Amino acid sequence: MALRKQQRLVVDPIACQAHGLCAELLPEMISLDDWGYPILAPGAIPPQARAHARRAVAACPTLALRLVAAADDAGHPGDRVV
């Protein structure tokens, strides 16, 4: 039951323009590479970081960061999971 509700982050690398707001809001799970693009921590978002994850998703200026069900492998065609 609890497993099914778990979510993970995906980023659309085409839409992402390296604004970097997500890494400011969710440093626990997102770091930036040398060019300012996000590197996401793999796996489900821990419960204590969920609210921050939602804020990070909402703050993305290009709507490139999204939350999907942790079990969902499909995601968006262009999504990159690192």
Partner 1 sequence: MIVAAVNSKELWYLTRGSGLMALVLLTASVVLGISQIGRLSGPSMPRFVVAGLHRNVSLLAVVFLGIHIATAVADPFAPISAVDSVVPFVGSYRPVWLGLGALATDLLLALVITSLLRYRVGYRTWRAVHWAAYACWPIALWHGLGTGSDSRVGWVQVIYVLCTAAVLVSLAWRLTTRWSASDVAQRTLAALGVALVTVGLTAWALQGPLRPGWAKRAGTPTNLLGGSSSSSSTSTTPTGG
Q: Which of 16, 25, 29, 30 binds partner 1 (CB under 8 A)?
A: 25
E strand or H helix at 5, and its extent? helix 2-5
Binding range to partner 1, per CB under 8 A, among 3-11, 19-27, 37-45, 70-78: 19-27
Shortest Å, Cβ 3 to partner 1: 26
Q: Is 21 in the site for partner 1 (CB under 8 A)?
A: yes
Distance CA 9, CA 57 (A): 9
Distance CA 41, CA 2 (A): 20
In terms of CB distance, is 15 or 39 closer to partner 1? 15
In terms of CB distance, is 31 or 62 closer to partner 1? 62
Contacts of 31 (CB under 8 A, 6+ apart): 23, 38, 39
